[in-house]
Structure 1
Amino acid sequence: MKKIIIVSLLFMCFLAINSAFANSDIEYFPQNQPPSIIELAFLRELGLPILETMSSYGDNQLFEFGRIEKIERNIENDYYDVSLRVISFEGAHNPPHKLINITFRIPPGLPSENYKVISNKAIISYKAKHITPEEVEKLSKFTN
């Protein structure tokens, strides 16, 4: 009986130690409250790469209401995947509005044919869709 308990404890310790060496960490940013100062600073730093990315995908508009949704850290390969969203507009903040989701890899890592690299950031994904004024209102609620 003692052997079973000791083996079980050793096995549980092994699992606890092994889980400490995970390959990635993910941090989600709450979207139902105003952005933190660190999020605002990071979005400001990403402003030019966001505009350049939008332009490279044919969305020659300006943007506002940026939010970082999540950051995933890959410990093994030493990079961060930063997923964010912005709302684009034309003219004086006029429609048409688009919801644009971008995931950047920072640093971009080794050159790859799979990803565009803009401003030393790899573009892992880019999605754009037209949204209604009501959707703009809902998505911008906590960004001011």
Structure 2
Amino acid sequence: MYAQSWQRLLDQAGQPGQSGAMSLASAGPAGGDSGELKHSAKPWSDAAGTAHSLQTDTATAKAKLTSAHTGAEAGTAGLASMGALKSVLASWEKRLTAVHTECGALEPVLRETAWAQGEVDAGVKSALAQYSEKR
């Protein structure tokens, strides 16, 4: 039914006394860990939440920065510092817009990754359960 190499792996996974857990060859007890490959959706969800917060915070910061500069030109005609101030404002608006845009693009990708990992886990668990029922 399966290629010989796959069948051998499946048979080993189903042997009593075997945990069936997958591990990386480079991961092992030397570091004090069990050697099992583990993952969680939490870091991805947390990163998505952080991206959302950064997107909101950069929009707020940009609005405050722009508002703070409103009317700064009044009474400063001919001052060289006004040109520098405008240049700094434009630079910060550009940077904040870039962060806002990038975080807006990252958030849904990070959330999708967290969801996809959960779906893969459920699929593997279901497939293994079906296999063990057939044995």
TM range (shorter): under 0.3
Greater share of helix residues, 1 or 2?
A: 2
Greater share of strand residues, 1 or 2?
A: 1
> Which structure's relative contact order is higher, taking Cα pairs within 8 Å and 6+ residues apart?
2
TM-score (norm 1): 0.24
TM-score (norm 2): 0.25
